[in-house]
Structure 1
Amino acid sequence: MRPSLRPFAHLLLALSCGTSCIATATAADITIYRCTDASGALTLQNAPCPKGMKQEARTMPGVNTVPMAPGQAGTAAPPATAPTVPAPATTPIPDVVTPSAAPSPDTRRLPPPVMFQCTTYDKGRYVTEDPEPASRCVALQTVGLDGNPQSGAGQACEVVRDICARVPDGALCEAWQKRRDETEVAFRFARPENAEKNRADYERVARIVAESSCGL
């Protein structure tokens, strides 16, 4: 088994004296202990072996020490240092000027088309895109020749036009949203024969609201 040796640099170093040496000194003898344990592991040390280990002692002469030449005493080589890398020059970062945000597509939307609010003869109200007031025939009461309303045999009506006015610009979106809701109800509760027509009308009005400034 290969022995494990403890470091004894001061025991194994031999210095040779050159012309720069001034004098030499003889060190005291040193005793080396050779210790072997039960498993055969070998240890060399400068102190007696622990109990239970086989011990062999050997005395060795001390190593001569040589004084340093004048001017070298107490002078140790400076430790090697890593070269200093200059820090990269920093350039001041100019203030960042945030450009004015480009107008979003929403800000360029146009207002919806004009809308009209109409009032019927019986004070009902509705909104419409048609600038021409609607007309309706209001039934008239008929009487007999004797003036008795019960004996009237004919029917008559009076044509009455609704009264319409342009919706102010500030109320256009509200009017169009009301029109959209009305067409949606007409579409969802339409008779089968009117379903497609009412659906197309609702989708058209809903698109106008969504694509105009009312859809913001």
Structure 2
Amino acid sequence: MPYRLAWLILLAAPAAAHADELVIYRCTDAAGALTVQNMPCPKGSRQQVKRMPALATVPMAPTASKPSAAPAATPAAAPEETPAPTSAPASTATAERLPPPNLFRCTTRDGGGYLTEDSEPASRCEPLQTTGLDGNPQGGAGQACEMVRDTCARVPDEGLCEAWKKRRDEAEVAWRFTRADTSEKNKAEFERMQRILAESACGG
């Protein structure tokens, strides 16, 4: 009988059937997207290979009267889930802050001083006292002045922060205690100096 013959042929087949290896490729592209496939990853992707033994099956010999039914497919074991690659943590190091801009300490002819951002402040005309022909200072006619230029020197690096803080404090006093018509201008100058300090190595 045909069915009995097929069964005997099946029993005579070797017990160790062909067992292929199941290879799973996990591919991560440059954007971090993950795909799982059964062929090598595209060039430029990071590849992880998972090898698993496939379930051995015994092929059924066909009979003359009725084809043998194919063995039920056994689902392959799912590959072990591994955490998706995470991007490297962003560096917490911040760019080193730079020192504030240069300042110059200027000395006036009468011994006074001030700070400025100009290496060569503009010259100014200081008034001179005039006298009359008789030598009387009260009888002088007209006005006269002398052009002078202050002597300035760059503030050393180690003193820049203190110099900028002093200049900011002076700007705040000028804003809070001067006439209302110059208040907005003085406030803007104070806020500018405040930003310079906050963004520099002085740290505000």
What does residue range 1-12 of structure 1 map to in structure 2 within 5 Å? none
Q: 2:141 aligns with which of 153, 159, 184?
A: 153
1:142: Cα distance to partner? Answer: 1.5
Aligned residue pairs: how many? 114
Alignment partner of 1:164: what SS?
strand
State the structure with more CA Rg: 1
1:196 and 2:194 correspond: no
Residue equivalent to 1:114: 102
In structure 1, distance between residues paired with 2:142 and 2:186: 37
Q: Deviations over 1:156-204 (max 9, x none)?
A: 1111111111111111111111111111111111211111111111001
What does residue range 58-207 of structure 1 map to in structure 2 within 5 Å? 104-105=93-94, 108-207=96-195
Deviates most, 193-202 or 128-137: 128-137
Q: Letter of the aligned partner of 1:108 in structure 2?
A: E
Structure 2 spans left out of the alignment, 5+ residues = 1-90
Q: Deviations over 1:98-127 (max 9, x none)?
A: xxxx6743x710011111111111111111
Alignment partner of 2:130: what SS?
coil
Q: Deviations over 1:7-36 (max 9, x none)?
A: xxxxxxxxxxxxxxxxxxxxxxxxxxxxxx
1:214 and 2:190 correspond: no
Give the TM-score taking structure 1 as reference length. Answer: 0.49
Q: Deviations over 1:57-83 (max 9, x none)?
A: xxxxxxxxxxxxxxxxxxxxxxxxxxx
Q: Letter of the aligned partner of 1:153 in structure 2?
A: A
- Percent identity, aligned pairs only? 67
Call closer, same or farther: CA 1:192–1:149 in 2, change over 3 Å.
closer
Alignment partner of 2:172: what SS?
helix
Call closer, same or farther: CA 1:193–1:148 in 2, change over 3 Å.
closer
Call closer, same or farther: CA 1:165–1:204 in 2, change over 3 Å.
same
